[in-house]
Structures are given as C-alpha cells and as structure tokens.
Structure 1
Amino acid sequence: MELQEKFVQSVRMYFNLQGEKWLSRLPEIIQYCENKWNLQMEEPYALSINYVAPAVMENGSEVVVKICIPGKGFQDELAVLRLYNGKGMVKLIEYDQDNGIFILEKLTPGGTLAEVHDDEEACRIAANVVRKLSVVAPKNCKIPSVKAREDNLREIVEKHPNGIGPFSKKTLEKALNIFTYLNNTTTQQYLLHGDFHHYNVLSSENNHWTAIDPKGLIGEIEYDLIQYMLNKLPENNAYDVIKKRVEIFTEELNLSEQRLLLWGYCHTVLSTSWSVDDKDNYETSFFQGVAIFEKLYEEQFGYIDEIETWSE
C-alpha cells in the first residue's frame, strides 16, 4: 500500500514511534474497517495526519471513513461530534474507539469555504456556521478548555527564557498575561470547534455549509474565530482583510470586539510559536497577525502594553 509522502512525514514528525507503528498497521485497519461495516474504501483525500477517504456502503450509500491514531485527540473529537449531533457539524454515523475509526456522513458537493473568492461572503457564511455551533458547554465536560492553551504558552515562556523565533521574552510574557486575564474573566463557556477555518467548512446540499474535523475545546466563541482570521490572507493588505473579518464576526454574532482582538493577539503569538522549527523558521502569515491585532486593538481601546490592567 503506497501512502502519500507528505502524510507519512507528518505522522512521523508529530507522533514519532507511535506514528511509525500506526502507519505499519494502517493497511490492516483499513481491511478491518471494510469487513466490519461491509463497505468499500476508495482513494483517500489529500491527507494531513489522519487517513480520510470516501467509501461506499453495501447498500450503495456514500460515507467518509476517518482513521486516527487512538488516544486523547480521538476521544475529544468523538465527544465533540456526539455533543453537536449534526447541528452545524458533520454527522457521526458509527465509530470504533479501539482502532480510532469514524464513519461520517459524506458532504456533497463538498467544496471548502476557501473556494469562495469573495472574502466578505465567506466570512458571513462562516459566521452562520459558528452560530449553529454556539452551544453552551455541558457541566463536567472532559474536553480541554482554552486554559490548556494558556498553560501551553506558559510552558513555552519557561522553556525559552530568551524568547522564541521572532518573539522576545517580553512579547511572550505580554501574550501570556493577556491569556490569563481573558481566561479569568470569561463568564460563559461554550463548546468550540477548536480548529475552525476555511478548510474545515464544506458545502453540503441546498447551499448549506457544515463544519468538519473538530479538535474540541471549551471557551469563548471569540477565541474560536482567531484561526479563521489568520487563514487565507492575501499577500498584501492583510490588515484590511482582518479588520473587515472582525467587523463581520462581531456584528453577525453579537460578540465583544475588545475580547476578540485580545484573543487574536495572544493566540496569534501562541500559534506562531508553535510554527517555529529547529532552524528558527516560522509561519510568517501568522506572525503578521500579531501586529495587526495589536494595531486594531489600540485604534479602538488604547495601548495593549498596559499589561498591569489585565491582572487587576
């Protein structure tokens, strides 16, 4: 079985020995899947770190099979899919927790939101999907909260006392203080997608749009929008595009612009830090967002550098 080269590299990079063992078992898991559900899997889609392919059931109906490395990530995604139960999210048909398998509805025609060329139209579509996904988090939910992201940034600060990539220690600490302030002042927790962006929203029947591939997170809706705003930015004029996206999201979803911009700043520092490799290369399109969110904030609310305000 010949696997996509980029897929194999990504699995090995993120999961090391566990990923290598999983890749060697993948043909066996696919065969198990076909036998268990009486389906025939077809050629996979372009893969990242999960094996995802369309399939045809014995009765002729079409589904999508997603095979993941079993563990916490799979369990979080399973919990999110079950909680949303098809509301704004792809429907879960069956699953096998031991082997990390999801059987999902197939969305048709299935084009991504990235294919909508009018950015404002795409943003309003995205806002409508987020509206459907805006579910108050259930009590005693085991899905990670945004506090885990704050803790992750704290680990980065401690591990890199002289800064990381393009960031000084001062910038990392400023972002961490804002993360802490926002988490400490959150009044309503929602179930979040956790990785909401253009490529995780697909077209479905009757001109509807549906989210896929949730990571699962608990927090404010404002936080769940930042990854979308960092994606599919033009080479020039990213400031105006992000500014307009902020306007549309706050208007359509009745959100706090102040908190949205603060989440934008601290999450963009975090996501850029995630992208730094051992040669100090990093995702420049994310990095530009740091200055943009800071500028947008200061135009409306004053200096973001007044860190002491956040901890009072």
Structure 2
Amino acid sequence: MARNRATSSANRGWSQRIGENVAVSSPGDHLDAALCRWDCAVDGPAMRGGMSVVVPVRPSDGSQLMLKLLDLDGATREALALRAFPPSASVRCIDHAVDLGALLLERLTPVSLAGAPVDEQIIVQARLARSLAVPAPWQIGRLSGTRLADHLNDLLCGAPDLLDGRVIDAARESLLDVASDDTATLTHGDLHTINVHKDDSGHWRVLDPNPHVGTIAFESHTVIVERSRLDEVIRAGGRELRRRLALFADVAEVDQGSAERFCQSRAVMSAPHEQARGAFRLAGDLRWMAEALTPPASVGSRR
C-alpha cells in the first residue's frame, strides 16, 4: 500500500508535466488513471510523437513495458491490429484501456532498423509487410474507402502548378485502382525504419501501426521514401529507384508494377502536402520521384 501511495504521487506529478508540455489527445488524468489501473510506475522519459505519448513503465512484477496514450479511436484501431498481427513480427499489446485511449505494450529494444544498410532495410521491411498481411478485423477501415483520389484533388488546389498534368493523371488512375481493391488483409500503414525495432532476441518487429485493409504494395512508398536516404537515391537516379522497388516487390511477393504505381501516386500526393507546410526541398524531391516513376508515354514536358 505504501508503494502504491508513493508511486501514485510521483506519477501524478510526472503526468502533470507531460500534460503541460505535450499536445496530445489524452489529458494528463488519463495517464494517471492508466498507471493506477495497471499498477505501473514511470520508468523513464516520455517519447513523443505527433499524435501520441509513449512512456516506459514498470508494473508491480518488475517487468519492462511501455504505456502509450493516443486518441480513443486510434488506440482501438492500433490494439485491434497489434492483436491480429503475428507476435513474431509485431510488438505485443498486453492490454487496452478503451475508455482512456491507453495501450500497455511490450517493450522492445531501442535499436531501430534506421541504422542498417539500405538493402537490409528494404528486405526487412518487405518481409515484415508480408508477415503482417493477415486477415483483418472487420472494425479496421479499408484503403478503398479512404477516397484518395478526392484527397489528391484537395491537395492539388494548394499547389496547382507543382506537377505536370500527365503525372497527376497517372497517379489518379492508380488511386482509382485502390478504390476497387478487394484485398482483405492488413497493412501496417507506417512502415518506416524507425517503426521497426529489435526485440531482446535480436529479431526485427514493428510498432506504431496506422493500420488499414488493402494491398501491401501500397507500403512501397513508405519503404522507399526514407528521408535519410532520399538524397542518395535521387543522386543515383531512376534506375536505382526502380531497383529498390523491385527488391521490395520481390521480397514482399507483390507485383513490381503495382509497387511502382503506388509509390508514384503517393509521391504525387505527398509533394503538394509538403509544399503546403513549407518543406519546399522535400516537395521537389517527391516531384522528381513522381516524374521518374511515371510511364514514359505519360511524362509531360516539365523537368
């Protein structure tokens, strides 16, 4: 009982500091409630993402876990995906507090895939994408229902001259293919190298999914567009870009043409988004990628 009172007091003060300094959907009292519900003590500094806070914790049995707070719907979707994914490829979700938007997760090591050589990164990401393509819970939305073509039109309104019209047309055609996709398996949805970590046994596993139901060929853009290596692939040129996409497609067991088309269409979507937020160099890099992956017959005069 004395431990619980002391831990509760320390946790409350810590969560108040988090609430003051981090913009998250779940308020500080959700953190206090989750720590109390799972009888956990804070075990280190928070890791902050755009939509969440992740806190290292220790429950009363002394094990090392992570407590993640995010919006209620996002927490539910993530819990559903993590429980559907094979534990050999994904962090385990130990518990989910539906009312708090809180997840109690296994703690992986801090070693991420970001430091590995490029081909190793792509091979690991592709293998994981294939492993995670399991039958999807019905509650998780389909890529085909996300109205991507309409979203592209909205993005282009803010950057009408950024991309050649024929490059845009090629992207629209691919996004319409997504709308008719009947794939019934999960995708991770955010398969960057920083979301792949080693476990204590040295195996690579994913965390932080943004799950949807659909073809894993849609992951090709996320795998190829790692900002730490984007300059490198641009210097190497279109042939190297396609080689990397071919490697991903081969290991992930998806059609290379589909991987190229979805990488192209997502580059077209990302370029105006990055320009709108002031990331002009990145927008230009994504424009290069979109043009490099547009079929020759569809390439306009812009360079």
TM-score calculated relative to the size of structure 1: 0.78
Q: Aligned pair 1:79/2:80, yes or no?
A: yes
SS in 2 for 1:2: helix
Give distance in 2, aligned partners of 1:215 and 1:264: 18
The answer as to 2:210 corresponding to 1:204 is: no
Q: Cα–Cα, structure 1 residues 267 and 82, in superposed 2: closer, same or farther, change >3 Å? A: same
Cα gap change, 1:101/1:155 in structure 2, threshold over 3 Å: closer, same or farther?
same
Residue equivalent to 2:140: 143
1:224 aligned counterpart, secondary structure: helix
Aligned equivalent of 2:13? none
The answer (yes or no) to whether the contact 1:230–1:286 under 8 Å persists in 2 is: no
- Structure 2 Cα separation of the partners of residues 182 and 229 of structure 1: 19
Cα distance change on mapping 1:131 and 1:7 into 2, 3 Å:
same
- Give, as a single letter, the amino acid of the residue that structure 2 aligns with 1:196: L
Task: Supply the AA of the counterpart residue of 1:192.
Answer: T
Deviations 1:249-294 (A, max 9, x none): 12222321111111011112122333343xx624643652443354
Tell me, yes or no, if the aligned pair for 2:158 and 2:272 is still in contact at 8 Å: no
Corresponding residue for residue 49 of structure 1: 51
In the alignment, which residue of structure 2 is the partner of 1:309? none
Write the letter of the residue equivalent to 1:271: S
Rounded Cα–Cα distance in structure 2 between residues aligned with 1:87 and 1:203:
11
Per-residue CA distance 1:127-150 (angstroms, 9 max, x = gap): 222232122446xx231222244x
Q: Deviations over 1:147-175 (max 9, x none)?
A: 244x1441441575574472466654542
> Structure 2: how far apart are the matches of 1:97 and 1:241?
45
Alpha-carbon distance in structure 2 between the residues aligned to 1:89 and 1:191? 13
2:34 matched residue in structure 1: 33
Matched, 1:281 2:254: no
Instruction: Provide the identity percentage.
Output: 18
Query: Structure 2: 5+ residue runs without aligned partners?
Result: 1-15
Shift in CA distance, 130/178, structure 1 to aligned 2, threshold 3 Å: closer
Partner of 1:303: 297
RMSD of aligned Cα (Å): 2.9
Deviation by residue 1:204-247 (Cα, 9 ceiling, x = unmatched): 12220000011111111111231121113243443365333212
**Normalised TM-score (structure 2):** 0.80
**Equivalence for 1:228:** 223
3-state SS, counterpart of residue 64 of structure 1: strand
Q: 1:250 to 1:5 in 2, by over 3 A?
A: farther
1:263 partner letter:
F
Q: State the Cα distance separating 1:54 from its structure 2 match.
A: 0.7
Secondary structure, aligned partner of 1:135: coil
Q: Hey, what does 1:270 align to over in structure 2?
A: 269
Selected match of 1:219 from 190, 214, 219: 214
CA spacing shift, 1:178–1:234, aligned 2, 3 Å: closer
Aligned length: 280
